[in-house]
Amino acid sequence: MSLVLTGAEVLQLLDMELALAAAEEAFCAYGEGRVNMPPKSYLKLPKGDFRAMYGAVCLTDGDVCGLKWVNVHPENPQRGLATVMAKILLNDPDNAVEIADMDGTYITNFRTGAAGGLAARYLARPEAASLGLVGAGVQARTQVAAILKVRPIREIVIYDLIWARAQALRDEIRAHYRVRVTASAEPEAAVRDQEIVVTATPSKNPVVQQGWVSPGTHINAIGADAAGKQELDPAILKEAKIVVDDWTQAHHSGEINVPLAQGLLRPEEIHGCLGEVVIGKKPGREDSAEITVFDSTGLIIQDLALGWAIYQRARECHLGEEKEFIPGLTSR
Ligand SMILES: NC(=O)c1ccc[n+]([C@@H]2O[C@H](COP(=O)([O-])OP(=O)(O)OC[C@H]3O[C@@H](n4cnc5c(N)ncnc54)[C@H](O)[C@@H]3O)[C@@H](O)[C@H]2O)c1
């Protein structure tokens, strides 16, 4: 039997503590080689793309494999639709039987935020109290939720190309968190003197310039997740400790993809993968002055780990609907 969970049901079960724990599990499994994860493949469309992401992971409380079908359509908000929407299927790797068929939109948003929180935990200065946001969309919101759980943030500055979006996020943060928050019409204000910076835009040109980044800053580069996208001046990467989520995905679609293709950055200049840092195989932040960059492309194992945790919560709470999609063949 497969447990069918709608977005509303998934959202009832999700919280950032669970997402952070699942992210730690996923990146730990990655660092220890307990994953099988081919790079995602892209279906290009006139106004965006779809990605098929699939893989398997051995978690501490079970093995799971599965598939995520997810889009990125940056003009969708103008039509009242989300830029990113997703569906996740979970299967039992032992007999292939479908375990769950769930909305993956909120899981994507929470697991992306949680990866940013995890990176900040290992790479940002422990006392980091200021956060700059470049891009005030859906992903920015879960980055805030996760980073506030791992660092003592007291001040947030927000920039977005569309002023009303920066203002809307400012008002939302004011309503939910006890931090000082301002919206800025200039991207520089969201970067200069910020101890943590998050970029979460679909930009194909650098938005953040080198001269704006202070020593000791940690940057979560979230937006670049397809070939040709970039948010940071490559000169920032040249002086930073760069930690990617996965080398194969990052080199063709992450923040490093354009500077690598242009010969501005060499593969040897990448410090390592977040999973290696999480298990202690490679160091995270080593001094208070270094600039660190987490290049996030988004991994299926993050979705599987959080999807699995949500599936278990749903079972405990008797949420969702059991369906037998192939009568007589998939009961366990
Ligand atoms: N790394 C990951 O795991 C991951 C996961 C999901 C989404 N993403 C990527 O993150 C990006 C944002 O996704 P989202 O769901 O938040 O989208 P969204 O449409 O909700 O938000 C994007 C925001 O960026 C703003 N923006 C666009 N260009 C800008 C620029 N040049 N400067 C400043 N602001 C700009 C838009 O006005 C919008 O408010 C996309 O590129 C998406 O593909 C990455």
Q: Is 44 an annotated catalytic residue?
A: no
Whether residue 264 is found in the same domain as residue 305: no
Q: Is 113 within the bounds of a domain?
A: no
3-state secondary structure of 255: coil
Question: For residue 332, what are the CA distances in angstroms to 1, 178, 269?
Answer: 7, 48, 49
Q: Is the pLDDT assigned to residue 330 strictly greater than 80?
A: no
Q: What is the total count of domains within the chain?
A: 2
Distance of CA 84 from the midpoint of ligand 1 (Å): 9
Whether residue 158 is found in the same domain as residue 234: yes
For residues 206-212, give the mean pLDDT. 97
Report residue 286: phi and psi, to 5°: -110, -20
Distance of CA 106 from the midpoint of ligand 1 (Å): 15
pTM of the model: 0.97
For 98-109, the pLDDT digits (tens) are 999 999 999 999
Query: What residues make up the domain containing 265?
Result: 122-295
Instruction: Tell which atom from ligand 1 comes closest to the C-alpha of 202.
Output: 41
d(CA 87, CA 37): 18
Query: How many C-beta neighbours within 10 Å does residue 203 have?
Result: 19
Q: Is the pLDDT assigned to residue 327 strictly greater than 90?
A: no
How confident is the model at residue 329, as a pLDDT? 74
DSSP per position, 19-79: HHHHHHHHHHHHHTT-EE-PPPEEEEETTEEEEEEEEEEEETTEEEEEEEEEEE-TTGGGG
In contact, 134 and 222? CB cutoff 8 Å: no
Question: For residue 235, what are the CA distances in angstroms to 72, 160, 209, 232?
Answer: 27, 22, 8, 8
Whether residue 227 is found in the same domain as residue 309: no
For residues 240-255, give the mean pLDDT. 97
- Regarding the beta carbon of 203 and ligand 1, being less than 6 Å apart is answered yes
Q: Which of 40, 47, 68, 204 is catalytic?
A: 68
Q: Is the pLDDT assigned to residue 188 strictly greater than 60?
A: yes
CATH number of the domain within which 255 lies: 3.40.50.720
- Regarding the beta carbon of 136 and ligand 1, being less than 6 Å apart is answered yes
